[in-house]
Amino acid sequence: MSTAITHDEAHHEDHRPSGILRWVTTTNHKDIGTLYLVFSLIMLFVGGIMALMIRAELFEPGLQFMDPVFFNSLVTMHGLVMIFGAIMPGFVGLANWQIPMMVGAPDMALPRMNNWSFWLLPFAFALLLSTFFMKGGAPAGGWTMYPPLILQTGDAFPFLVFAVHLMGISSVMGAINIIATILNMRAPTMSLMKMPMFVWTWLITAFLLIAVMPVLAGAVTMLLTDKYFGTSFFNAAGGGDPVLFQHIFWFFGHPEVYIMILPAFGIISEIIPTFSRKPLFGYSSMVYATASIAFLSFIVWGHHMFTVGMPLAGLLFFMYSTMLIAVPTGVKVFNWTATMWRGSLSFETPMLFAVAFVVLFTIGGFSGLMLAIVPADFQYHNTYFVVAHFHYVLVTGAMFAIVAAVYYWLPKWTGRMYDETLGKWHFWLSTIFVNVLYFPMHFLGLAGMPRRIPDYALQFTGFNQVATIGAFGFGFSQLLFVYIVYKAAHSGEKATDRVWEGAHGLEWTLPSPAPYHSFSTAPTVE
């Protein structure tokens, strides 16, 4: 099927500085992948601590632990940290590790740029997190940064804008690198329609990133000039339009949510066939479904703005286009189900997370469909129902996929197996608590609890308490994950090259751990 290189062949170019400098100067896709993944894990905990503080305040009605301004800062920073710090870098880390190995390349196409795209991130987040200590506190207008409210931010404001710029530059450079790698460095025998699904979904995601990150950069720059340079883009009193910001933001924002899920689709499409011992059902329809989701994601942004008072024609257009997204999304879910159907299934930890993904992501899809129904969205919008929706797609969707991917490929990265029993514990604890945490939020939203409030009317107490218990359970369960990964890297059993009985794909033809430079001669794909 392919020719794997041996460790020795790779060794002669394997001169690298040791210690901290190795990580600062590295241009190696695996090192950079590791950096991204570690960074993402740290941000997951930083954002997670904020979430637990939010949930602690919401355990009971009344103000317990914090001033509402600080609460609003937590809500805002939690969103920004999780989206730009945890989920996106998590996927980029996986791309760095896997794409060269999966397309049969030695490394990424643009290794120096790769180094820079990572190293912007710690600075971006140092700027962002430092705002907690500034006069006026951290930004408190929500991750969506709507003016005029966000313009009331104190000294933190320019830091917020600059941090967003850095994250955007990092993402765009990462995306360019991924596109260049996939298009130019594939093994010659790997045609586009033979690429693994993870590679396909990342290729499409990378185009989305290039298309929309500059739009976000433009939006925050306009905020900056409105605040400091006397422009009135969004200031009604100066002839501007606050709704314009929302259009620009969501033109970025909706593709952004697909940026955070398409690579997850790719991961799930790798894992389910492996543990079903059966090829992915409907490979080509999966590719087309991904492409059509990407296209549709540009014409549905208005569904975040149903309550701004759009004309009827606008409401109808965005309702129909949003409902349409359910079609290719459904195709994906059906294909995964058909892949499992009459397979020979086994349930190692990656598979457990993958199956949970399919079920729980679908629940998020259902609530998405409900949110698309405009008259009903007038009732759901800005409530905990929306909070439940996007956490089902982002936590049990994107995050579960990243966790599944780490379990799946970790033996290839480290050459050692993780502890399967502990992995199963991690899975069951996470899956049970995550539902205790988010399922009641559907009820809270329907019963009328708005999102982003530090205090609430008495009838919401019960489900808030349940959710808070779930939150702490879920949060602490993730410590187990850190331990499992640490233990696997240091003292796990030796992994075989193929690792999983049903695994196919070039990465499994390499030795475990994978050599520093992946393929120095292009392998052949059947």
Partner 1 sequence: MLISKIKNAGAGLLAAVLLGASGTANADWGMNLPKGATVISHDVYDLHMMVIWICVVIGIGVFGAIFISVLMHRKSKGAVAAQFHESTTVEIIWTIVPFVILVGMAIPASKVLIAESDTANSDLTVKVTGYQWKWHYDYPSEGISFFSTLSTPTDEIYNDAPKDKHYLREVDHPLVLPIHKKIRFLITANDVIHAWWVPAFAIQADAIPGYEHVVWTEIEKPGIYRGQCAMICGRGHAFMPIVVVAKTDADFKKWVAEQKAGTATAAVAETAAVAKTWTKDELVAKGKQVYDANCAACHQPTGSGVPGTFPPIAAGKPFSASAAMMQHLTERGFLKDGKIVMGPVKHHIETVLKGIPGTAMPAWGPQLSDVDIASVITYERNAFGNHTGDVVQPSEVKAAR
Contacts of ligand HEM in 331-390 (CB under 6 A): 365, 368-369, 371-372, 377, 380-381, 386, 389-390
What are the tokens at 192? 């586009």
Q: Which is nearer to partner 1, 109 or 271 (CB)?
A: 271
Counting contacts by CB under 6 A, is residue 326 touching ligand HEM? Answer: yes
Q: Which does 322 bind (CB under 5 to 8 A by kind): partner 1, Cu ion, ligand HEM, none?
A: ligand HEM
Are the C-beta atoms of residues 338 and 262 closer than 8 Å to each other? no
Residue ranges in 186-225 that form contacts with ligand HEM under rule CB under 6 A? none
Are the C-beta atoms of residues 303 and 322 closer than 8 Å to each other? yes
Are the C-beta atoms of residues 54 and 92 closer than 8 Å to each other? no
Shortest separation between residue 303's beta carbon and Cu ion, angstroms: 6
> Taking CB positions, which residue lies at the least distance from Cu ion?
254
In sequence order, which residues have a C-beta less than 8 Å from that of residue 55 and are 6 or more positions away?
Answer: 467, 468, 471, 472
Residue ranges in 204-233 that form contacts with partner 1 under rule CB under 8 A? 227
Handedness of CA 88, 92, 98, 102 (dihedral sign): positive
Q: Which does 424 bind (CB under 5 to 8 A by kind): partner 1, ligand HEM, Cu ion, none?
A: none
Helix, strand, or coil here: 416?
strand
Q: Which does 457 bind (CB under 5 to 8 A by kind): ligand HEM, partner 1, Cu ion, none?
A: partner 1
Shortest separation between residue 317's beta carbon and Cu ion, angstroms: 14
What are the tokens at 131? 């705002």
Are the C-beta atoms of residues 353 and 395 closer than 8 Å to each other? no
Shortest separation between residue 169's beta carbon and partner 1, angstroms: 27
Residue ranges in 483-512 that form contacts with partner 1 under rule CB under 8 A? none
Picking from 361, 345, 483, the residue whose alpha carbon sits closest to that of residue 431 is 361
Shortest separation between residue 406's beta carbon and partner 1, angstroms: 22
Indicate the residue type of 521: T
Phi, psi torsion values for 114, nearest 5 degrees: -60, -45
Are the C-beta atoms of residues 107 and 10 closer than 8 Å to each other? no
Counting contacts by CB under 8 A, is residue 242 touching partner 1? Answer: yes
- Tell me the CA distances in angstroms from 77 to 42, 477, 491, one per residue in order: 15, 22, 36
In sequence order, which residues have a C-beta less than 8 Å from that of residue 224 and are 6 or more positions away?
Answer: 157, 158, 161
Picking from 37, 30, 2, 35, the residue whose alpha carbon sits closest to that of residue 14 is 30
Among the listed residues 29, 55, 254, 416, the single contact to Cu ion using CB under 5 A: 254
What are the tokens at 31? 């090192």
Q: Which does 320 bind (CB under 5 to 8 A by kind): ligand HEM, Cu ion, partner 1, none?
A: partner 1
Counting contacts by CB under 6 A, is residue 302 touching ligand HEM? Answer: no
Cβ neighbours, 10 Å, residue 192 = 12
What are the tokens at 346? 């086994």
Q: Which does 496 bind (CB under 5 to 8 A by kind): partner 1, ligand HEM, Cu ion, none?
A: none
In sequence order, which residues have a C-beta less than 8 Å from that of residue 486 and are 6 or more positions away?
Answer: none
* Binding string, residues 245-284; x marks residues near ligand HEM by CB under 6 A: ------------x--xx-----------------------
Residue ranges in 395-434 that form contacts with partner 1 under rule CB under 8 A? none
What are the tokens at 320? 């129909």
Shortest separation between residue 201's beta carbon and partner 1, angstroms: 18
Q: Which is nearer to ligand HEM, 160 or 393 (CB)?
A: 393
Q: Which is nearer to partner 1, 184 or 346 (CB)?
A: 346
Indicate which residues carry an active-site annotation: 78, 107, 143, 170-171, 254, 256, 258, 269, 303-304, 329, 332, 451
Residue ranges in 282-341 that form contacts with partner 1 under rule CB under 8 A? 282-285, 307-309, 312, 315-316, 319-320, 323-324, 326-327, 330-331, 333-334, 337-341
What are the tokens at 474? 């879920």
In sequence order, which residues have a C-beta less than 8 Å from that of residue 63 and are 6 or more positions away?
Answer: 57, 454, 455
Handedness of CA 282, 409, 83, 89 (dihedral sign): negative
* Binding string, residues 34-73; x marks residues near partner 1 by CB under 8 A: ---------------------------xxxx--xxx--x-
Cβ neighbours, 10 Å, residue 415 = 20
Q: Which is nearer to ligand HEM, 49 or 369 (CB)?
A: 369
Shortest separation between residue 240's beta carbon and partner 1, angstroms: 8
- Judged by the rule CB under 5 A, the positions of this chain that interact with Cu ion are 254
- Judged by the rule CB under 6 A, the positions of this chain that interact with ligand HEM are 144, 257, 260-261, 303-304, 322, 325-326, 329, 365, 368-369, 371-372, 377, 380-381, 386, 389-390, 393-394, 397-398
